[in-house]
Amino acid sequence: MAVRAVRGAVQLERDAAEHMDEQVGALLTAILERNDLTADDLISIWFTATPDLHSDFPAAAARKLGIVDVPLICAQELDIEGAMPRVVRVLAHIESDRPRADIAHVYLGAAAALRKDIAQ
């Protein structure tokens, strides 16, 4: 079993805790489903949020999905002029037999514009 990394992002429509839970939950669910993963395959997850998001920690959405025994951490994304607003990014470390080229990186909605090279 190899250690792999999965990237993803979602842009929120507004800064509200319920909306963040919904959108980050959808992103994590899509990452798990598209890579045939369960919570047992997760090693750790890094979340970043743009500086305009204040309503909640993105990791809270993972806990609400039942991801309770995986180390999670949140950080603030760099405040770059002209960057897409209200974005939560994910970097998940996983155990998988998939070759690196077969890992499905998930960018939902408008966030797909962030990484057109790897968004699926």
Length, in residues, of the chain = 120
| Residue 117 is assigned to a structural domain of this protein | no
Percent of the chain with pLDDT over 70: 97
Could you give the CA distance from residue 62 to residue 45 in angstroms, rounded to a whole number?
9
Q: Percent of the chain, pLDDT > 90?
A: 91
- Count of domains observed in the chain: 1
Q: Is residue 118 a part of any domain in this protein? A: no
Asked whether residue 97 carries a pLDDT value surpassing 70, the answer given is yes
Binding-site residues for prephenate, in ranges, read 7, 89, 107
Amino acid of residue 66: G
- Amino acid, single-letter form, for residue 3: V
Does 83 reside within a domain? yes
CATH number at residue 45: 3.30.1330.40
Per the domain annotation, does 102 fall within a domain?
A: yes
CA angle 17, 83, 16 (to 5 degrees): 10
Domain containing residue 92:
2-112
What DSSP element (H or E) covers 46?
strand 42-49
Chain-centre distance for alpha carbon 10: 7
Look-up: residue for tokens 């950080």?
75
**Which residues fall in the annotated binding site?**
7, 89, 107
Phi, psi of 71 (to 5 degrees): -65, 130
Give this prediction's pTM. 0.94
